[in-house]
Amino acid sequence: ACPHRPCPRGAANLRSRTGCEVGFWFLKLVESGEKERLMELLRERLVECGWRDDMKALCRAYARKKGRNNVTLDDLIHVITPKGRASVPDAVKAELLQRIRSFLMSSSLW
Amino acid sequence: WRAQLVLSCFEELLDFAVADVASECHRIARLGLDRSVDAEEEELRLWAARVAGDHPGAEDGATRAAGGGGGNKGAPDVFGQTHPAIAADVVDCMNCGRPVVAGRFAPHLEKCMGKGRKARAKTTRSSTAGRYRNSNGEEHSNHTFQES
């Protein structure tokens, strides 16, 4: 397993949904600015492939059903997360994984 | 563990992207901005409901319809006069020349001038004829309209 542990400082204690402690490495991504670059790339790809539009449609449908003033942000996140994770095109996922891997490998601690 | 780490980093990024979209949609829903997107649909639906269950001067039908921005039509105004919910005057469309009920004029014009979502994009003029003038003397470019 990864020998590095998340920094004791609170901000870096990011745990992914899989429970894997990515805090240490994710902090590296954030500190170097690479996280922002990756987010830009991911956003762009998700717009291009229509993923963002699909998620917006799900949200709109949910808001109509529940009444737009009864909708919370948490609701919407829970509504779209399963479909959102499942519907990322393989090519987009592969591209991002490759970028992340390259970046982490370039770190001397990897 | 490296592969799992890379994957987990990706999942974190994806969660951010999801929260991003959800946040935008939450804002749109709470501010009612989605109404402008669905306004056309909403207008047509309300009009159909009014026409089906309403007659001139009736207040019930008008107040039953959702108050979109125009307030209650059909209720007496400050002078005590009532007006029909749907303007009943008939005018001639300056685009196609057909008589149209005034209260239906806007939706008619959308289809007539090819702007509406459900309008068919048929070109009745050759593509080289770039501009034409309507009876008001305004210039339009390459508008399509239905054959009358």
For residue B91, the domain's CATH number is: 3.30.160
- Torsion over CA: A79, A83, A85, A87 (sign): negative
- DSSP per residue, B74-96: SS--TTS----SS---EEE-TTT
Residue listed under structure tokens 């309507």: B134
Q: pLDDT-derived band of residue B74, with 50, 70 and 90 as boundaries?
A: low
CA-based nearest distance A86→chain B, Å: 11
**B2 close contact with A: CB closer than 8 A:** yes
Q: How far apart are CA A73 and CA A77, in angstroms?
A: 6
Alpha-carbon Rg for chain B, nearest whole angstrom, is 24
Tell me which of B21, B24, B31 to substitute to probe the interface with A (most A C-beta atoms closer than 10 Å): B21
The per-residue pLDDT for B141 is 46
Any domain includes B109: yes
Q: How far apart are CA A75 and CA A72, in angstroms?
A: 5
Any domain includes B126: no
Average pLDDT over residues B71-100: 76
Closest Cβ–Cβ partner in B10, B15, B29 for A63: B29
Q: How far apart are CA B32 and CA A7, in angstroms?
A: 42
Residues B16-56 have pLDDT tens digits of 999 999 999 999 999 888 765 566 567 777 877 887 775 55
**B66 close contact with A: CB closer than 8 A:** no
Average pLDDT over residues B81-100: 78
Cα A95 vs. chain centroid, distance in angstroms?
14
pLDDT at position A92 over 90 = yes
The per-residue pLDDT for B132 is 46
Any domain includes B123: no
| Domain limits for position B13 | 1-49
**B29 close contact with A: CB closer than 8 A:** yes
Tell me the three state secondary structure of residue B141: strand
Q: For chain B, how many structural domains are there in total?
A: 2
Residues B7-26 have pLDDT tens digits of 999 999 999 999 999 999 99
pLDDT at position A26 over 90 = no
Closest Cβ–Cβ partner in A20, A59, A80 for B8: A20
Q: How far apart are CA A82 and CA A43, in angstroms?
A: 18
CATH superfamily of A33-106: ENY2/SUS1 (1.10.246.140)
- DSSP H or E run through B31: helix B2-31
Are B93 and B109 in contact by the 8 Å Cβ rule? The answer is yes
User: For chain B, what is the mean pLDDT?
Assistant: 70
Residues A71-89 have pLDDT tens digits of 999 999 999 999 999 999 9
The per-residue pLDDT for B75 is 74
Any domain includes B79: no
| Bigger pLDDT: B69 vs B79 | B79
Any domain includes B57: no
Q: Exposure pattern of B3-38 as b/e (b: 16+ CB <10 Å)?
A: eebbbbbbbbbbbebbbbbbebbbebbbeeebeeee
Are B75 and B82 in contact by the 8 Å Cβ rule? The answer is yes
- Among candidate residues B94, B146, B98, the one with its CA nearest the CA of residue B124: B146
